[in-house]
Amino acid sequence: MSAFNVAKFGGTSVANFEAMSRCAVIIENNPETKLVVSSACSGVTNLLVELANGVSNQERRSELLTKIASIHDSVLSHLNHSDEAAAEIYKILDTVTSLAEAASIQASKKLTDHLVACGELMSTHLLAQLMRERGIDAVRFDIREVLRTDSTFGRAEPQLADISTLAGEKLAPLCQKHVVITQGFIGSDAEGNTTTLGRGGSDYSAALIAEGVEASGLEIWTDVPGIYTTDPRVAPKASPIAEISFSEASEMANFGAKILHPSTLVPALRHDIPVFVGSSKEPERGGTWIRHNAETSPLFRALALRSNQTMVTLRSANMFHAYGFLAKVFEILAKHKISVDLITTSEISVSLTLDQTDTAGGAPQLPEQARFELEELCHVDVEHDLCLVALIGNNMSESKGYAKQVFGTLEDFNLRMICYGASPHNLCFLLHESVAKSAIQKLHTELFE
Ligand code: ADP
Ligand code: ASP
Ligand code: MG
């Protein structure tokens, strides 16, 4: 199949009619863009997650439903031939209403996915109709026909071989005839149940779909003109990065830079698809190119911040000079499907952080039963309200002297955990949520300004 471009638009990019119209111009300006992946309209997923967590107060439920309806109504009111799209959207809103009622009685991860998927299912009706009214031959495609996942609701694992086959059969031929508008974030398992890839998952969807149709480029259109040296909302003097390598950008995404879902670059790297990140509000400002090899590889590239971290500290005198202790710990964690993120050890204790949470949101928790089993082995402490700060760069494990600069800058901060050495691309540490932003600001001033 001939090479083409996949463009992904995030929630703020499709927030309302004006924002969607800017997306349309971006799509129209690049004739190679044949496939468009859209998020839900800004704010909608949060409202749906609240409903999915179970709202028993009928008044609050109606309030949330009204808010969701009005976001979509406002776009419909700008369309000239909105009847068909409106009928589809009202049908989905009916589903939202009944699922929200069911969740208020008994919430579940499966139900959550079914419910939150409705955001993307609605926004794509609007974007496709808006495009058609501008004279583009756009068709809406339900990505659940292609984006096959396992049944881990809230954080489903894509099934790559199935996605590739289904994309080749169903999606690629459609893209040769039309501009295809489809949903990010959602998929379906082998039984046809709706699944989601976790919050912010539309970036990952776009990359998986780009891989599936063997696209030659992937554009991620968001609300900032590219990847910055740190979140510009945290450090206003952060500056855009013109070009960055896959490994550096992957580290940033993994360590919490919200600009990209952590898994986004895995498919792009696998198929060597260059990724562009830009602002749909200000496309003329350019953006960041993520490529296999960037021209520069500075020691310090960026700072990333990941909040909502949970740290578990396990202490036992039996650990001293013994073998097999960590194996037992990890056996318990594996049995409860708990994924560990960072880890540090000393003679009699080990601290670890629990991996990111799923679509339902909140800090990762240590399940009661897992805690009980660990307590049979050792003393268990759980700390919440922590933030992970990562300094990302190149050749860090081989460079001298910079740790003094970093830790000197942070001398007034209580660092709860430090990880360094495993990757040449990062140095990271945990500190309390309340001081994490000021730590980022101080480090940014010292290392990047
Ligand atoms: P979208 O809805 O388009 O997916 P997101 O809100 O998920 O957008 O991601 C964009 C946001 O990511 C920006 O508004 C910015 O606040 C945040 N962000 C975090 N780290 C960075 C970074 N290093 N560079 C740019 N933006 C970042
Ligand atoms: N709409 C989903 C979310 O808000 C997915 C995404 O936008 O990437 O998390
Ligand atoms: Mg996002």
pLDDT tens-place string over residues 211-243: 999 999 999 999 999 999 999 999 999 999 999
In a domain, 391, yes or no: yes
Same domain assignment for residues 308 and 219 = no
Q: Is the minimum distance from the CB of 185 to ligand 2 under 6 angstroms?
A: yes
CA distance linking residue 107 with residue 16, whole number of Å: 30
Q: State the pLDDT at residue 401.
A: 84
For the Cβ of 353 lying below 6 angstroms from any atom of ligand 1, the answer is no
Q: Higher confidence at residue 86 or residue 326?
A: 86
- CATH assignment at residue 85: 3.40.1160.10
Q: Is residue 395 part of a domain?
A: yes
* Closest ligand to the CA of 259: 1
Residue 307 in any domain: the answer is yes
Residue whose CA is at the smallest distance from ligand 1 atom 5 = 259
Residue after which a domain boundary falls, among 170, 205, 223 = 223
Is residue 222 part of an annotated ligand binding site?
yes
pLDDT at 55 over 70: yes
pLDDT confidence of residue 141? 98
Residue at 174 is within a domain: yes
Higher pLDDT, 298 or 319: 298
In a domain, 255, yes or no: no
Residue 322 has pLDDT above 80, yes or no: no
3 confidence band (pLDDT: 50, 70, 90)? low
Mean pLDDT of the chain: 94
Q: Are residues 330 and 217 in the same domain?
A: no
Annotated binding-site residue? 11 = yes
Over residues 245-294, the pLDDT tens digits come to 999 999 999 998 999 998 999 999 999 999 999 999 999 999 999 999 89
Q: Is 250 among the domain residues? A: no
Residue pLDDT, tens place only, 329-367:
999 999 998 888 899 988 889 999 997 777 777 788 899
Separation CA 342–CA 324 (nearest Å) = 19
**SS3 state of residue 116:** helix
Total number of domains in the chain: 2
Is 185 part of any known ligand binding site? no
Ligand 1 binding pocket mutation candidate from 23, 231, 276, 301 (most atoms within 8 A of CB): 231
Domain that holds residue 11: 5-223
The pLDDT score that the predictor gives to residue 2 is 54
Contacts of 42 (CB under 8 A, 6+ apart): 11, 12, 14, 15, 19
Mean pLDDT to the nearest integer, 415-429: 87
Residue 306 CA to ligand 2 centre (angstroms) = 17
Reported as type and span, the H/E element at residue 247 is helix 246-254
Q: How far is the CA of 396 from the centre of ligand 3 (A)?
A: 28
b (16+ CB within 10 A) / e for 247-261: bbbbbbbbbbbbbbb
Residue 128 — very low, low, confident or very high, per pLDDT cuts 50/70/90? very high
Residues 316 and 205 in one domain: no
Same domain, residue pair 192 and 45: yes
Judge whether 248 lies within some domain.
no
Q: What is the mean pLDDT of residues 9-25?
A: 98
Would you say 421 and 355 are in contact if contact means Cβ atoms under 8 Å apart?
Answer: no
Residues 53 and 193 in one domain: yes
Q: Tell me which ligand sits closest to the C-alpha of residue 448.
A: 1
Q: Is residue 239 part of a domain?
A: no
pLDDT (mean) for 367-390? 94
d(CA 139, CA 3): 19
Same domain, 313 and 169: no
Where is 385: in which H helix or E strand? strand 379-393
Per residue in 18-36, pLDDT (tens digit) is 999 999 999 999 999 999 9
HEC letters along 19-50: HHHHHHHHHHHCCCEEEEEECCCCCHHHHHHH
CATH code, domain with 390? 3.30.2130.10
- Cβ of residue 187 lying under 6 Å from some atom of ligand 2: no
In the predicted model, is pLDDT for residue 1 greater than 60?
A: no
Q: Output the pTM of the full model.
A: 0.94
- Domain closes at, from 223, 244, 273: 223
Q: Choose one of 223, 237, 277, 300 to mutate for the ligand 1 pocket test, by most ligand atoms within 8 angstroms of C-beta.
A: 223
Nearest-5° Cα angle at 400, 396 to 405: 85
* Whether the predicted pLDDT of 201 surpasses 90: yes
Out of 203, 223, 243, pick the residue that ends a domain.
Answer: 223
Q: Find out whether 90 is annotated in a ligand binding site.
A: no
